[in-house]
Homo-oligomer: A and B are copies of this chain.
């Protein structure tokens, strides 16, 4: 298994990203192609001990910045690292790619180069939301689409089900549809239509869920429009940071607290990690013909390492093949969708 890793687009120095990739090659069956300035990469590689057969370097100096407009930049920068990564996957030289760059650029590059999976109307970005005891909720879509239609929300639910089953090994994962209340009468016109279809499908649909439910065992998969999901995900990130900054501020005030914090430093670290979803290996873009993992611009070595492992799992467990089969099994491909509209 070969994972292409975009070393140029992240905000962290090359060696941070390279370290993550090299660590991943220590896993059986994982090789990497590092994309970036080859002279710099070769230089940085010198400080690591690794299996040289498992690391290849592809040179480019071009990359898409965080503030560039994705569709425009993709056209103007054909040699940018994210496009090269996508092309390596398209041509079969790599099995998936990981990029810590501009989310829109990764999305656009993957979309253009890979195309949608058979039967899929729109791809989705899936985020791993931490909850108790090393378990997660798959929240999708968190930003690939704005203004989703019922077919999109329904397909997100099915793709999320297959993801939780095949990648996490959860049997009959609980699927919830995010809304402003749990009663069937709640929601928008789009969510109400989607609800009607979801309850007819053979998946474990628990109905509407509220924002707080994504942190509980009430669901394994939480479905929403990319506009809502993006705002929610960034809101969660924001409050997590705020709580830790409150701690810092308060601890500074009292000597007792300072001593307490010192004794608790391990606990603080653990919790920061638990809350920081960056730890969980970025966000897979699902619904396209090849896998792509979107990492944070500020991705650490650990995040890159985890993102590569998530990519490997997606390939190993044949997520895409399973999604295509499940959509057909449930009869919710884009080709058959018209059959469902009579239930609205």
Q: A235: which B residues are within 8 A, CB to CB?
A: 211-212, 214, 232, 235-236
Q: A232 contacts which chain B residues (CB < 8 A)? A: 211, 231-232, 235
List A59-75 residues whose CB lies under 8 Å from chain B: 69
A251 and B264 contact, CB distance less than 8 A: yes
Q: What count of chain A residues pass the 8 Å CB interface test?
A: 63
Contact A249 B180, CB 8 Å, known A215-B242, A232-B235: no
CB distance A132 to B261 under 8 Å?
A: no
- Please determine whether B224 and A238 come into contact, CB atoms closer than 8 angstroms: no
A260 within 8 A of B: yes
What is the distance, in angstroms, from A69's C-beta to the closest C-beta of chain B? Answer: 7
State the Cβ distance, A278 to closest chain B Cβ, in Å: 13
Q: Within the assembled complex, what's the spacing in Å between the Cα atoms of A254 and B263?
A: 10
Cβ contact within 8 Å between B267 and A254: yes
Interface of A is mostly: helix
- State how many angstroms separate the Cβ of A176 from the closest Cβ of chain B: 12
Q: Report the minimal beta-carbon distance from A264 to chain B, rounded to whole angstroms.
A: 3
Question: Which chain B residues border A210 with CB–CB below 8 Å?
Answer: 230-231, 234
* Chain B residue nearest in CB terms to A71: B185
B246–A275 contact, CB under 8 A? yes
Chain B residues whose CB sits within 8 angstroms of the CB of A216 once the complex forms: 238
Are A211 and B236 neighbours in the complex by a CB distance under 8 Å? yes
**A274 in contact with B246 given A236-B211, A254-B266 (CB within 8 Å):** yes
A240 an interface residue at 8 Å Cβ cutoff? Answer: yes
